[in-house]
Amino acid sequence: MIRAMQWIDTHHHLDAPEFDADRAAVVARARAAGVGMLVLPAVMAKHFDTVRTLAYEHRLSYALGIHPLCTGEAADDDLDRLADALRAHAGDPRLVAVGEIGLDLFVPRLDVPRQEHFYAAQLKLARDAGLPVLLHVRRSADLLLKHLRRIEVPGGIGHAFNGSDVQAAAFVERGFRLGFGGAMTFERALQIRHLAATVPDHVPVLETDAPDIPPHWLYRTADDRAAGEASARNEAAELPRIARTLAELRGWSLEHTAAQTSDNARAALPRLAGLAA
């Protein structure tokens, strides 16, 4: 049975306002579904204390970083705030990564040089802290890799990865695992499903990116929304059902999928190994 297994959701924005009304219930549903650990990445400096507090309140884990989509409103001294937070919590076992950081070349009119400035600076902070990174990768794999070749970090996770086979191999060569979630459940997501099926066994990890990237059974089309049907919120309790797709694509049992992806997550984020699920 799925509920007898233990899963790790490597990317869940529990601090998002979509969870304000029932945050504790979201965690309870996740645990009832067998999702024993969530990684909560920050996206802005003002959220650093929030994700840490949530991690301790619910026995989860967290990451600290500035999201590329938030760099436009971030203050220049937010990088100093991140450096201070990483120093202050250097020995915190629940701080498992620097993230969510990266580059987004999909959203128009973003300041790419400013994104690069924040990304490179955060890679240096991760390197100095000895922490892996959670990377936002959206049409930006090659540029992300360019900086990773210059600033080496102890691996991490390429979140919601949708690059080419060559790009995937380049991240794997640098010690990264790749995150697969709701997008993988869509039959038309051919490249994502191809990667999920073919990357080496030690590479895939599972994630929801909740409340975003819903699986196909939660997705609402533009017509649905126009007709008044609310967009469905993703959450960690969906992870075991999402995992069925990975199991089917790879020819794995669910039991093996749970064990392998959890082992992969702990390899990518070593401090997870010391936390009880």
228 pLDDT above the threshold of 60? no
pLDDT of residue 219: 85
CATH assignment at residue 96: 3.20.20.140
Domain of 92, in residue numbers? 2-274
pLDDT at 221: 74
Q: Is the pLDDT of residue 4 over 80?
A: no
* Number of domains observed in the structure of the chain: 1
Under a CB-based contact definition with an 8 Å cutoff, are residues 38 and 14 in contact?
yes
pLDDT tens-digit profile of 165-223?
A: 999 999 999 999 999 999 999 999 999 999 999 999 999 999 999 999 999 999 877 66
Q: Find the Cα–Cα–Cα–Cα dihedral 1, 274, 59, 259, rounded to 10°.
A: -20
Above 60 in pLDDT, residue 1?
A: no
| Mean per-residue pLDDT, 116-138 | 98
Rounded distance, CA 142 to CA 24, Å?
39
Binding site: residue ranges?
Answer: 11, 13, 100, 136, 159, 209
Return the percentage of the chain with pLDDT > 70, whole number: 95
Does 221 or 73 have the greater pLDDT score?
73
Can you tell me the mean pLDDT for 57-82? Answer: 98
Using N-to-C axis directions, what is the helix angle for 48-58 and 78-88, rounded to 10°?
A: 30
The closest of 111, 99, 104, 105 to 73, measured between CA atoms, is 111
pLDDT confidence of 277, banded at 50, 70, 90?
A: low
pLDDT, the chain, mean: 95
Whether 9 contacts 39, CB under 8 Å: yes
Q: Which residue ranges make up the annotated binding site for a divalent metal cation?
A: 11, 13, 100, 136, 159, 209
The structure's pTM equals 0.95
Nearest to 151 by CA among 178, 112, 118: 118
Structure tokens at 32: 């009832």
Instruction: State the virtual CA torsion across 158, 160, 163, 167 in degrees, nearest 10.
Output: 10
Q: Is the pLDDT of residue 276 over 80?
A: no
Mean pLDDT, range 238-255, rounded to an integer: 98
Determine the Cα–Cα distance for residues 19 and 240; give it in Å rounded to an integer: 20
Record the tokens describing residue 254, joined without a space.
Answer: 């669910």
247-270 pLDDT per residue, tens: 999 999 999 999 999 999 999 999
Nearest Cα neighbor of 132 from 276, 275, 267 is 267
Is residue 230 very low, low, confident or very high in pLDDT (cuts 50, 70, 90)?
low
Residue 225 pLDDT > 90: no
pLDDT at 226 over 50: yes
The average pLDDT across 82-92 equals 98
